[in-house]
Structure formats: structure tokens, C-alpha cells
Structure 1
């Protein structure tokens, strides 16, 4: 069993960390809000008072935080992970951040004669709970090979993508597909509803058709019930769309559909629904066309 450090116990980090504890690993955790660590501590994880202290204690340090600014703070800031690193340790960041935000973290870890692995994940809370996430991996290949048995606890599918920031870009690209697909779903649902088809029938047909992918399948209950508890919030999707548009500038490519759909997410935040699940785009469009249910 491995000696693991875990930084970040939000919606995704909490169930992922729990799976490592269940698997018998020695896990030490830190989170900005200690109350969010209650469940994992009850399962047997240990608490430390700073990312530095976690890094001093663990051989493999996992990070799962909500954005690049927090990533840089917990790694590079005072009492951050780098302050606690000693030679030979591995830092595995599973957050969704930009290549630009990732680069200084990689350089700082290397300066400590340690290795850095980028491993953003695909999937939401339920796959995280079941240990069925997809793991996108890039960085130090030897680090991946060493830590792979631990990663097996977290994810069903692992994809090695490259030696640098490729995993970051791939995750951002995937999230643009998720977000854009949801706008298409909203348009299909509202068109059917305006024609007199009830939403349950509409979702049954869509989910059973050629376009009934996992994104659609995962949102059936939320759309049928009109309740959008956040598995992944509108604000988080908007953040990822901004990362995508920044990456498009960096790599000189065009994302015209993403740029347009971003405005719908922005509108949803402005209407006070930024903390709801991103599938609330369906409700936004229903209201815009006069559907009240």
C-alpha cells in the first residue's frame, strides 16, 4: 500500500479520496475547509494543517482543486506543497486548469528533483464514487508507471497522451463537447415541448436514439424533474469554456460554436443560476420560449 497525500476535498475530490482510503492506502489530507474532510477522516484518513505538511508526509501527492489560481497557491504559496517536497516524490494534479497555469507548477516540482504528472479526469460525481473515472495523463512517463496501481483505484480508463501539457488540452477539448452538447439538447427539448410533446417522452426518445450519448443519459432525471442539483455547475463549465478559448488563442485554432455557447452559460450565471448544474441550460431556454413547468 502507498503513502498518499490528498489536497482538495470538493465534489470530486471527496469521493476519489474515499476510494483510496477504502483500498487500504495510508492517506493524509488537507482542504481549505476542514469540515469537508469529515467523512474521509471518519474512514481513517489523517489530517494535516497545510499542503506543506501533507507533502512532507506522503510519497505521492494528489491535487484536485477547482481552478489554476488555487492550484498555484497550494503548490507554490507559503506552506505549499513545494515547501514540503523532498527528492523523488511524485505530484499528481487532477484539476482542470490551463497549460499556462500548469507550466510553473511543473517547473517548481522539477526544481525539487521530484516528478509531476498531469491527470485531469473525465466523468462526474457518480463515476468518481464508483472509481470509474477516465484519467487523461501527460508529463513524466516514469511517474505514471510508478503510480499506475494507485490510479487504478480512481479510474476505469487511462489514456497516456504525451510528455508535456497534452492532458490539459485534451480535458478542455472534451469539456467543450459536453457543454456544447447540452445547448443542443436544450434546443431539441424545447422544440419538442413547443410542439406539444411532453418532456418525459422527448427524453425517452432522445436517450434511445443515435444521439443518446452518456451526456444525455446522465441528465434524464434532472431534465424530467426540472431539478438541477449541481454535479458540475454552470460556473465551472463557464470557467472551462474560458480555458478553451484561451487555449484556442495559444494554439491558433478556431472555436466558433464554443464562443457562442459560452454566452448562454454567461447569461445563465447572470440570471442567478450559476451554482446549478450546467444542464439548467434546458430550463433557461424553456423560460426564454415561454415554457413553464
Structure 2
């Protein structure tokens, strides 16, 4: 088996809102980080704080012993992984590539097989949480892939969040993330439905939110999202980004012959929410807008 490389430099590709927050946590933990993002301006604060910069994903891989990626979706893989400037061209034997993205499970497994041909190790390491969860130090990470590679980077992953769980073989962590996000979207959509229902009956929305946050339904995701119905000041994930996860679950259900009826119902609501005037807000706000308009609740 290829010997794992000593971790001296950590690479990061994909420095959006979540990626930049994770990269900063790694730097705060003492890791030397080299990053690349399609738009350098979005990463300038990190560069100013001491992060190294690479001109291509390939240069990140060539310089680093562990590479983390946070890609928008499955379609973003070719631009970052393949080609002369892609990560695969720069990976060295013994490097660990840990992908934090939520992408199609079959694409993740296929990528792990490509990485194996370079002598490097690929881990699917999707995260669960939001920028707010990350900032609070409560992010969770799931890991699929070679157990020795996981053991090698476990300490690094713990600097992202305190809850890191090894799931199993390549693809198993991303499958678990699909299941978790299915649950998340269904529960948040149901909450929007419930609030709109009693608001139609004349109950004050702020009072409903306050009561819910003190009740048994106050899960972490309801805890940080429900207040948006009173003070819409944050976008954790818009409807387009969140529906991506439901589509992954629906595709998986079709492939496996497994029923996902609540997933499908929630996805229909998100489809309707895409035409909302508030579609650029957090998906809870977009879905709530659809329910309230359908019920004739005064806006």
C-alpha cells in the first residue's frame, strides 16, 4: 500500500461561504493552507490572513499533502478535477483528497476510482451544518473511504467540527449525507406548512416561532432557521441549492426501487418556491412564501 504523506501543507479548492469558513478554521488550528477559488477576490481575506495562493487546482495538489474540496454540485467536478489544470493531474502518491461537497453518490465513487490510479487516497467527507453551525464549532463530518486514510486525517477533520463519524467504504458517507439532507428539507418544509396553517387561523407568527423553539420540535436546524420567519436576515441555503439534495435522493430512490414519498412532496414545494419573488432568500422563506400566498395569508 502507498505510504501516506506527512501532513505539512493542506490545500483547499472551493472557497465560497462554507469553504472559506472551513479554511479559516484550519488556519486557526495551525495548519499551513494553500487555496484556489475560481474568483480570487472571494478568498482575498484568507490570503491577507496568511493563506497561500495557487493559480490552478493542479498547483494546489502539487504543493499539498491533504487536499480538501468544497464544490457546488456534481457538475463542478470536471472543471476542478480533470484536464491539465485539474486536481487529478497534480495529485502525488500518498496524498489524501477529502471532498466535503454533496455530490451524486455514483459520481463520488467514480472519482475515488480515478484518484486511486494516481496512488492518492480519496475520501468522501460531506459536512452537515451551515455557516452558522460552523462558526459555533458544531459542524459534523461524515467520512467514507480507506480507513487508514481516515485515521491519518481525523485530527485535521476534527478542527472543522467536533463530530466526525467514519461511515464505511467510498460512497457511504455521501449516501448518509443524502439521507440527512432529505430529513432536513422535509422537516423544514413541514415547519413552514405548519406555521402558515395556524397563521391563517390568526395566530401571531412570532409567537408560533417562539413556542416552537421551546418545544420538542426544536431540532438544531429548526433552531437556527425558524427565527428567519420573524427576522429574515440570513441565507443558509437558497431553494436551488437545497433542492439539489432532494433530487439526489429521488434519483437514488428510482435507481434502488425505494419509495421516497415525503422527499417527492417536499421537492414539489421547492419547485413551486423557485418561482417565488423570495427565491433568493433562504429556502424556508421561499417555501413559506408559497404556503402563505396559497392560503391567502396577508403578506
1:94 matches 2:90: no
Cα RMSD for the two superposed structures:
1.4
1:274 matches 2:262: no
**1:259: Cα distance to partner?**
0.8
Corresponding residue SS for 1:154 = coil
Partner of 1:41: 47
Partner of 1:155: 161
- Any conservation in 1 of the 2:273–2:289 contact (CA below 8 Å)? no
Partner of 1:79: 85
2:223 to 206, 211, 217: 217
Deviation digits for residues 154-196 of structure 1 (CA, Å, limit 9, x no counterpart): 0111111111211111101111111111121112111211221
1:17 to 2, 17, 23: 23
Deviation digits for residues 198-219 of structure 1 (CA, Å, limit 9, x no counterpart): 0111111122112121121112
**1:2: Cα distance to partner?**
3.4
1:137 to 137, 143, 159: 143
- Higher mean C-alpha displacement, 277-286 vs 92-101: 277-286
1:233 matches 2:238: yes
2:258 to 229, 253, 257: 253
**1:272: Cα distance to partner?**
4.3
**Runs of 4+ with deviation above 6 angstroms:** none
- Any conservation in 2 of the 1:21–1:40 contact (CA below 8 Å)? no
1:174 matches 2:177: no
Q: Aligned pair count? A: 292
- Any conservation in 2 of the 1:16–1:131 contact (CA below 8 Å)? no
In 1, Cα distance between equivalents of 2:249 and 2:136: 28
In 2, Cα distance between equivalents of 1:61 and 1:130: 24
In 2, Cα distance between equivalents of 1:162 and 1:96: 17
**1:261: Cα distance to partner?**
1.2
1:7 matches 2:13: yes
Gap change, CA 1:233 and 1:77, over 3 Å in 2: farther
Unpaired segments of 5 or more residues in structure 2? Answer: 1-6
2:247 to 242, 247, 256: 242
